[in-house]
Amino acid sequence: MAISFVSTDKAPAAIGPYSQAVKAGPFLYASGQIPLRPDGTLVEGDIVDQAHQVFANIKAILAEAGLSLADVVKATVFIKDMNDFGRLNDVYAEYFGDHKPARSTVEVARLPRDVKVEIEVIAYAGE
C-alpha cells in the first residue's frame, strides 16, 4: 500500500511533528484542524467564527488531494464546551448539507491554542 503526504499553503502548517494529511490506500486521513488562518494567525470569536475557519482549512486540504467534503466518510469533532453543540451543528450542516458522514463529538478539557473546536476527517479517495 502506497502512503503519501498532503500539504497545502491554503491551510495552516502543522503546529507539531505531523502532516496536514496522509493518503493511505483509498483513504485520506486529515489531521485535526483548528481555527488558524493559512498564515498561522488565530481566528478569535465564538464557536461559529472558529468552525467556519476550521472548515475552510479542511476544504483546502481535501482540495489539494483532489477531494471535497462529499468524499468525507468520518468526522471527529473535539469541542471545548458542549453548550456550543447546537451552534456547531448549524455550521457543520452548512458545509455537509445532505451528505452525512459518520461522526463523533467529544467535549475536551483543552485544545491547542485554547481554541473552541478542532475537527479531523477521513475521506474516501477511491482505488
Burial category of 18 from C-beta neighbours within 10 Å (exposed 0-12, middle 13-18, buried 19 and up): exposed
Burial category of 76 from C-beta neighbours within 10 Å (exposed 0-12, middle 13-18, buried 19 and up): middle
Q: What is the pLDDT of residues 38-79, one digit of tens each?
A: 999 999 999 999 999 999 999 999 999 999 999 999 999 999
Per-residue model confidence (pLDDT) at position 1: 79
Confidence band of 84 (pLDDT split at 50, 70, 90): very high
Whole-number Å distance between alpha carbons of 25 and 5: 12
- CATH number of the CATH domain containing 91: 3.30.1330.40
Residue 91 sits in which domain range? 3-124
Higher pLDDT, 55 or 16: 55
- For the cut 80, the answer to whether the pLDDT of residue 25 exceeds it is yes
Domain count, the chain: 1
Residue 37 CB contacts under 8 Å (≥ 6 apart), including other chains: 12, 43, 53
- For the cut 90, the answer to whether the pLDDT of residue 127 exceeds it is no
